[in-house]
Amino acid sequence: MQINKMIQIAPSILSADFTKLGEQIEAVETGGAEILHFDVMDGRFVPNITVGLPVLRSVRKKTRLKIDCHLMIVEPSRYAVEFVKAGADMVSVHVEADPHLHRTLMAIKQAGAQAGIAVNPATSLSILEEALPFADFVLLMSVNPGFGGQRFIPSSIEKLRRLKQMIVEKGLRARIEIDGGITKQNIARVVEAGAEIIVAGSAIFDDNKNPSEATKELILAASEWV
């Protein structure tokens, strides 16, 4: 059965080969990706350190894909607008890291990007109640943030459904992005449960994979119920 909604694949460069990042970005674009997921980690909010503003500026020059910055950092309000200025089209901040979410989301929008709220697996959706109307999207983590290649947490499906229901009941337009452990085997299930933007890192960039073909395969698998 075909799914009648807009599904976008967002390859996460966290699992890419950084010595040939430009080529790998071109490959996923050829494969049909529309968004590039850019994971920013500070070694404090999560136990890993990745890339930041200088890398984003270089990537921005290289691609026309939308760039989606997932800020896994403490005090994201200090940097969110800098990421927009450096070329991000979408920026998400973790609800667990920001006591002034309204202000940060507004600042991201005012700077010209879409503003998202990221939510860890053990964080209740009830905390989104008041903030949801101000978000363009919600990034639901289906693994604990910090590393690529982890296993999808099965209860995320049910959480996705509840989030979708909250959004619909409130008459809002926020889109749902799912991040972590997505494979050809489970992508149709997350789409069916309400996800519209699907992040995939290791399923696209692992060593034995052709990123362009892997992107195409995920897009195809997303359109089929399993």
- Catalytic machinery residues: 39, 179
The binding site for ligand DX5 (CB under 6 A) comprises 12, 14-15, 37, 39, 70, 143, 145-150, 179-182, 199-203
Element (H, E) at 68: strand 66-72
The stretch near Zn ion (CB under 5 A) out of 50-58, 176-184, 189-197, 218-226 is 176-184
Task: Give 151's DSSP letter.
Answer: P
Q: How many amino acids of this chain bind Zn ion (CB under 5 A)?
A: 3
Phi, psi of 206 (to 5 degrees): -55, 155
Shortest Å distance, C-beta 47 to Zn ion: 15
Q: How far is CA 77 from the centre of its chain?
A: 18
Of Zn ion, ligand DX5, none, which one does residue 203 interact with (CB within 5 to 8 Å by kind)? Answer: ligand DX5
Q: Which is nearer to Zn ion, 66 or 70 (CB)?
A: 70
For residue 130, the surrounding DSSP H or E stretch is none
| Residue in the shown chain whose Cβ atom is closest to Zn ion | 70
Q: Which residue lies nearer to Zn ion by CB, 1 or 142?
A: 142
Sheet holding 175-179, edge to edge: 8-11, 197-200, 175-179, 137-141, 114-119, 90-94, 66-72, 35-41
Residue 179 C-beta: closest distance to Zn ion, Å? 4
Which of the choices ligand DX5, Zn ion, none does residue 133 contact, using the CB cut-off of 5 to 8 A by kind? Answer: none
Q: Which is nearer to ligand DX5, 168 or 220 (CB)?
A: 220
Q: Which residues contact 73 (CB under 8 A, 6 or more apart)?
A: 40, 41, 42, 44, 45, 79, 97
Contacting residues toward Zn ion, per CB under 5 A: 39, 70, 179
